[in-house]
Amino acid sequence: MDNLIENKGFVFSKESLRKKFRWSEFLSEKIISGVAFLSITIIVLIFVFVFRETLPIFHHKKETVKIESVQKQEQYGGAEASGPTNASGQEQYGVTTTDTMMIENQARVEDTVVHEADEATVKSLIGKEWLPVSDRPRYGLIPLLVGTLKITLLAILFAAPIAILAALFSAAFAPPWLREIIKPAIELLAGFPSVVIGFFALMVMASFFQDIFGYDTRLNAFVGGIAMALAAIPIIYTITEDALTAVPRSYTEASLALGASRWQTALFVTLPAATPGIFAAVLLGVGRVFGETMIALMATGNAAMISANPFESVRTLAATIGAEMAEVVFGDTHYSVLFLIGSLLFIFTFGLNALAEFYVKGKLVKRFQGK
């Protein structure tokens, strides 16, 4: 034995076994952990930034300018200054020229910085009107929230059954060669630019469905919902498919050996065994639709109204940020409200992902350990 060790030039002694400091190992370890922390830090900083910009809304100042509740006129398009002169009692839309608008906007900046957040604004957040650019701006989030939920519901109602059945087909029924075509093909769709889907919905689907259903508003929640479903299907499909193929083969074999047909096996054994994964897939689909901006902007009509009719236009939270952030005055109440919407989206998606993660883990552990 001794000879063997010596031959390799390896002697067991205090000297040869002393701890050595290895520079390359130390460095690479630090770099890798540094990169990991950097990415986490960036996310946290974005989080902090979004919330910080939201704060002014809730930060009341005493010298608020009273809002005359008697004021009946409303004006849109930055025509504040000319408000009182307009005695006709009608609402005006974008009457002022660009030049005056700019001047007036500047005047408004100074104005708004003083009474940055008044109580009326905070109260109007739970109101039913979204009129951010008017004499008496109202930032009611309810219609946006309702619109978002409506379109999410519609999109998931379309997407989930289609995606789940497609996944069931490719996981349980499709011959291997077909599966190898279908799965990558649908997964590629997940990378499809949403602006293209939005464009397609705007130009083609809207008219197509209008011919079928004969609704009045060409762009509405229904069209938007279907377009969003196109974006959500690949995500739900991929994760459902993974969940279904992860069901142990012994399950399917057990069922088939009992004389169950392939359909019965897929429906009563494979699908139930994969429910936690499918649930997670649907939640991620919801998250995708909830945060989808471009399609909402292009295909939903963007009218902030509360209605149960799927053929009415809606305005979603994400689309509101997308549409208005570029036009808003920096530091304005409107600006802060848009960030509040951003925070809401953030919290919602965060919660959804957390739910998917923890629910699925908990459920799986329960299922496969029999607790």
Partner 1 sequence: MKQPKIQTRELSLFYGEKMALNSISMDIPEKEVTAFIGPSGCGKSTFLRTLNRMNDLIPFVKITGEVLVDSLNIYDKQIDVVNLRKKIGMVFQKSNPFTKSIYENVAYGPKINGIRERKKLNEIVETSLKNAFIWEEVKDRLYDSAMGLSGGQQQRMCIARALAVEPEIILMDEPASALDPISTAKIEELIFELKKNYTIVIVTHNMQQAARVSDYTAFFYLGELIEFGKTRKIFTTPDNKQTEEYITGRFG
| Segment interacting with partner 1 (CB under 8 A) among 157-165, 221-229, 263-271, 318-326 | 263-271
Pick 17 or 257: Cβ nearer partner 1: 257
Asked whether position 367 contacts partner 1 by CB under 8 A, the answer is: yes
Pick 171 or 317: Cβ nearer partner 1: 171
Asked whether position 259 contacts partner 1 by CB under 8 A, the answer is: yes
Q: Which runs of consecutive H residues, i.e. helices, occur in the chain?
A: 2-7, 23-54, 98-114, 119-124, 142-168, 176-189, 194-200, 206-213, 221-245, 249-257, 262-265, 271-273, 275-291, 294-299, 317-324, 333-369
CA distance to 217, 260, 272, 273, 274, per residue, from 268 (Å): 43, 10, 6, 9, 11
- Cα(360)–Cα(282) distance, rounded to whole angstroms? 12
Pick 251 or 346: Cβ nearer partner 1: 251
Pick 119 or 253: Cβ nearer partner 1: 253
- Least separation in angstroms between residue 258's CB and partner 1 is 4
* 74: phi then psi, degrees, rounded to nearest 5: -135, 145
Pick 271 or 341: Cβ nearer partner 1: 271
Asked whether position 327 contacts partner 1 by CB under 8 A, the answer is: no
Among 178, 246, 254, 347, binds partner 1 (CB under 8 A): 254
Asked whether position 362 contacts partner 1 by CB under 8 A, the answer is: no
Cβ–Cβ under 8 Å, residues 51 and 45? no
Asked whether position 256 contacts partner 1 by CB under 8 A, the answer is: yes
CA distance to 75, 94, 101, 302, 323, per residue, from 97 (Å): 14, 8, 6, 24, 21
- Cα(118)–Cα(147) distance, rounded to whole angstroms? 26
- Cα(33)–Cα(36) distance, rounded to whole angstroms? 5
- Cα(38)–Cα(63) distance, rounded to whole angstroms? 42
Pick 10 or 268: Cβ nearer partner 1: 268
- Cα(158)–Cα(289) distance, rounded to whole angstroms? 12
CA distance to 159, 300, 324, per residue, from 276 (Å): 18, 32, 38
Question: Which of positions 158-187 make contact with partner 1 (CB under 8 A)?
Answer: 175-176
Among 70, 257, 308, 326, binds partner 1 (CB under 8 A): 257
- Least separation in angstroms between residue 178's CB and partner 1 is 12
Cβ–Cβ under 8 Å, residues 300 and 147? yes
The DSSP output letter for 301 is B
Pick 101 or 256: Cβ nearer partner 1: 256
- Cα(163)–Cα(247) distance, rounded to whole angstroms? 18
- Least separation in angstroms between residue 361's CB and partner 1 is 15
Among 243, 269, 317, 356, binds partner 1 (CB under 8 A): 269
| Segment interacting with partner 1 (CB under 8 A) among 24-32, 114-122, 161-169, 253-261 | 253-261
Among 51, 199, 251, 346, binds partner 1 (CB under 8 A): 251
Pick 26 or 368: Cβ nearer partner 1: 368
Pick 350 or 368: Cβ nearer partner 1: 368
Using a 10 angstrom Cβ sphere, with 0-12 exposed, 13-18 middle and 19 or more buried, the burial of residue 92 is: middle
Tokens for 74, please give them: 């409303």
- Least separation in angstroms between residue 18's CB and partner 1 is 47
Asked whether position 273 contacts partner 1 by CB under 8 A, the answer is: yes
Asked whether position 107 contacts partner 1 by CB under 8 A, the answer is: no
Task: Give the dihedral of Cα atoms 176, 179, 184, 188; nearest 10 deg.
Answer: 170
| Segment interacting with partner 1 (CB under 8 A) among 29-37, 110-118, 221-229, 252-260 | 252-260
Asked whether position 35 contacts partner 1 by CB under 8 A, the answer is: no
Asked whether position 111 contacts partner 1 by CB under 8 A, the answer is: no
| Number of residues this chain uses to bind partner 1 (CB under 8 A) | 25
- Least separation in angstroms between residue 163's CB and partner 1 is 23
Q: Which residue is it, tokens 């007036």? A: 104
**Cβ neighbours of residue 97 under 8 Å, at least 6 residues apart?**
none
Chain residues binding partner 1 by CB under 8 A are 175-176, 248, 250-261, 264, 268-269, 272-273, 367-371
